[in-house]
Structure 1
């Protein structure tokens, strides 16, 4: 049985991933600010999902459009929401003790996990060129962030658990994207965590001390809601394997926010690592251009198989 051939990734899907990365970076920076201010991490994560539900309901006019409630498999929708809940919940705990650069460096293991899981779970096998590009990009991320895992602590356990949960969330997003509506995917991904975490709210609630904290707390739901909507749209246009390298660009947004909010200045190692990441990205763009030319010119699958060796 032949493996599915590589396909060119639509530019629109890449741009959607880039934009969602900006929103998720803002989400992480805001969450770190909140938990460092003394807010309860479980309560902050619950508000993030509760507001997310309200945003999606209003955005898609849930009172008039039943597509937001329609589903083919409710258990699968709930399981996907549980994975997203785990990703956010454990990430917020990690942010309490780790720097943004540390949590992000561990989060960058996700593309590797996704690439490995997409083959057996989705039948989306990566070509060797993309594997090399992903590995080179990841080396660049390690150079930038230098996680220092020799001083392993509970925060690293939280971050690793969050990364594993996120990887399964992405795999399920790709799996369900073809048969579930985008409205239902984004709605149930927030509703499931909000309902699951509701019983703990009375024991973890801590009200924001001022207007600024209220604005940031409510804003978490908007950032998460719109970010995941864009991510769903991206994975409906391209495979999980094809999009796996592009979240590396998020290190740019995280570096900028670290400087602007937490006074974290990039050093020479950061510049070297960024150069490696950019070089890897430029090669990926070159490979995507070759694949687009092939897709336009090749008349059948047999020729496509031959072209993969070019």
Structure 2
């Protein structure tokens, strides 16, 4: 129950972060600046917290180049993930993020040479069908550019998942989060050149809120996996769609059309099917049967 509670809190924090990203866009704050503060504030907070406790040794790593690669890929993914909420409604942007498990299956088969059977390939096709339903013939709901950004974000996050899985073998979660933020922030700072920083108090509070909510979301998501399995806690992630729909209705007076309500359960069902098959595979003590 503690793990589920942490995961639920993470969905709230992440939905608030995306809401603030969209609101800063409405106020004319550039995406590069938003990304910079999203990364810089967590890095400063983690370093300061460890320094105050005399635990900077926890940041020691023997895999700096792997962290750098993860930062490059993760920074690209974050640019797309935060960028899509500026071109699409919150609910639709969130739903496209749920396609990440499908692309993780594809990348696992391609990069890790993992055997993928009919169940998971079927789930991939099922999820892509859900995306087609949401897109529909009327592009006013889901414009092609927004769809491309959303799919690109999901693919990049899936690639990051493979990278983090590798780093998790030797690094603690706090170290992974720190180097991701610390290595990407200086690069993102280049996007600040020529920016207008004449924000009002509300704008600066929103930027601070993005950094704080993003950091806490990462920590609660990671910590939830210490007290519960991936299969048991990831189901809670789909509550994020409810939050995105709620914020979209409350703040932007937007409710998803019928096509979204039809396609979303298909995408969620596909990702749950993938999660279930992963759970079955890793609990099976013998080699996986041919129909996995």
Structure 1 and Structure 2 fold alike (TM over 0.5): yes
Question: 2: distance between equivalents of 1:250 and 1:132?
Answer: 25
- Residue 114 of structure 1 deviates from its aligned partner by 0.9
Give the superposition deviation at 1:146.
5.5
Deviation per CA, 1:28-80, whole angstroms, max 9, x where unpaired? 11101101111111111111111111232244456611344211210110111
Residue 67 of structure 2 is aligned to residue 77 of structure 1? yes
Please, which of 56, 59, 62 is the counterpart of residue 46 of structure 2?
56
Find the partner of 2:155 among 146, 164, 178.
164
Aligned to 1:225: 215
Match of 2:32 among 39, 42, 46: 42
Deviation of the 1:228 alpha carbon: 2.3
* Deviates most, 180-189 or 250-259: 250-259
Preserved CA contact (<8 Å) 2:119 2:291:
no
Displacement of 1:133: 4.9
Counterparts in 2 of 1:279 and 1:123: CA distance versus 1, 3 Å? closer
After superposition, the CA RMSD in angstroms is 4.1
Taking a change above 3 Å as real, the CA distance of residues 104 and 88 of structure 1, as seen in their structure-2 partners, is same
Q: How does 1:295-306 map onto structure 2 within 5 Å?
A: 295=283, 301=286, 305=288
Report what 1:86 is aligned to: 76
1:194 pairs with 175, 185, 188, which one? Answer: 185
SS at match of 2:29: coil
Question: Would you say 1:101 and 2:91 are equivalent positions?
Answer: yes
Cα 1:136/1:225, change in 2 over 3 Å: same
Give the Cα separation in 1 of the matches to 2:220 and 2:115: 24
**Is the contact made by 1:68 and 1:187 (CA closer than 8 Å) also made in structure 2?**
no
Which 10-residue stretch deviates more, 78-87 or 59-68?
59-68
Paired residues for 1:197-276 under 5 Å: 197-210=188-201, 212-233=202-223, 247-273=237-263, 276=266
Q: Please give the secondary structure, in 2, of the residue aligned with 1:35.
A: helix
Q: Distance in 1 between matches of 2:132 and 2:247?
A: 18
CA distance in 2, matches of 1:25, 1:228: 12
Distance 1:245 1:206, change over 3 A: same
Question: How has the CA–CA distance of structure 1 residues 176 and 24 changed in structure 2, closer, same or farther, with 3 Å as cutoff?
Answer: same
Note if 1:173 corresponds to 2:168: no
In the alignment of these two chains, the number of paired residues is: 290
What CA distance in whole angstroms lies between the structure 1 residues aligned with 2:112 and 2:234?
14
Deviation at 1:226, TM superposition (A): 2.1
